[in-house]
Amino acid sequence: MKYQLPETETGKDVWQLAREISMSAGEILLDWWPKAKEISDAGQNDIVTNVDRECEAHIRSAIAAHFPEHGIFGEEGKGDDPTKGWTWIIDPIDGTQNYAWGIPCFSTVIALAKDGEVVAGVNFDPINNEMFHAARGKGAFLNEEKIQVNDVSKFEDVVLVTDPAYGPPSGTTDTLQMLRKIWPSLKTARMIGSSALSISYVAAGRMDIFVHHRLQPYDQAAGMILMEEAGGLITDRQGNRAQLYSDGVIASSSTIHQEFMEKTKHLQWRKPSSRALNPRER
């Protein structure tokens, strides 16, 4: 289904607006980067900082100034149902633990969905000034250069990237078991602490496949459209096209996706999650 991207009163479409807002959010992150931050627990194996909250408030305000009728769903403030109507999906800092501990690997995610279908997405890394962005039917880009998934055809040449799962430890345990089983047939594997950047790197051909036990909408919204516009696949663990509340994520080229599915078909990681997905889970 094709959607006409909404425009501001000045004729600026949401794709351009998302890029501009993400850059201003990046300035907040860089301003706080050398300073001490207030860190508090946000759940099992998760934290939140004062900068997350400040940055999300800035993004919400900027969006509402142009599209007050649109919904907004964010990691810190939650909000509207991202599967209903025009809804912005935002993650002020993807890779908060990296950001909090001074590790320069994090980004800001801003995406827009119509009834759960992402139509534009931006993932901005302010440290490296890298803007990964895409809009439905318009391609995927890193800054101004068009990107596409790697055309590697042999699994032994594959660079896999993943991250530990939040919540119950079984998600991470299953991921590590899966990695142990397929490790001999991989080139190498990485964990970088930012799912949004990991998916962006696969879309840009820097890595070949990203897998995760399960992400929240704000972790993967921009990555979903980046992957598809870059010529790749992004699915759940059963191989179905990824949705905002998918059970597991696999992002790669079609060739590598097929091989991964074959190599992992009998592993626990491929089985449905024991905890049912809840579209209204906050």
- Structural domain tally of the chain? 2
What pLDDT score was predicted for residue 275? 53
Q: Does a structural domain hold residue 4?
A: no
Same domain flag for 140 and 80 = yes
Q: What does the pLDDT look like over 145-203, one tens digit per residue?
A: 999 999 999 999 999 999 987 767 788 899 999 999 999 999 999 999 999 999 999 99
Do residues 88 and 71 make contact, with C-beta atoms less than 8 angstroms apart? Answer: yes
Say how many C-beta atoms besides its own lie within 10 A of residue 39's C-beta.
Answer: 17
Show which of 122, 146, 170 is a domain's final residue.
Answer: 146
What pLDDT score was predicted for residue 47? 74
Range of the domain at 262: 155-270
Show which of 113, 146, 179 is a domain's final residue.
Answer: 146
Q: What does the pLDDT look like over 59-91, one tens digit per residue?
A: 999 999 999 999 999 977 678 999 999 999 999
Q: Which burial class, exposed, middle or buried, applies to 58 when counting CB atoms under 10 A from its CB (0-12, 13-18, 19+)?
A: middle
218-257 burial, b at 16+ Cβ within 10 Å, e below that, comes to bbbbbbbbbbbbbbbbbbbbeeeebbbbbbbbbbbbebbb
Report how far residue 282's alpha carbon sits from residue 280's, in angstroms, rounded to the nearest whole number. 6
What mean pLDDT comes out for the span 197-225? 97
Phi then psi for residue 245, to 5 deg, are -115, 40
Locate 263 and state its tokens. Answer: 């190599």
Same domain flag for 251 and 134 = no
Q: Does a structural domain hold residue 6?
A: no
Locate 157 and state its tokens. Answer: 């040449």
What pLDDT score was predicted for residue 2? 61
Same domain flag for 26 and 132 = yes
What pLDDT score was predicted for residue 45? 56
CATH assignment at residue 98: 3.30.540.10
Same domain flag for 131 and 175 = no
Show which of 146, 177, 212 is a domain's final residue.
Answer: 146
Look over the chain and give the mean of its residue pLDDT values, rounded to a whole number.
91
Same domain flag for 134 and 191 = no
Same domain flag for 234 and 252 = yes
Q: What does the pLDDT look like over 249-267, one tens digit per residue?
A: 999 999 999 999 999 999 9
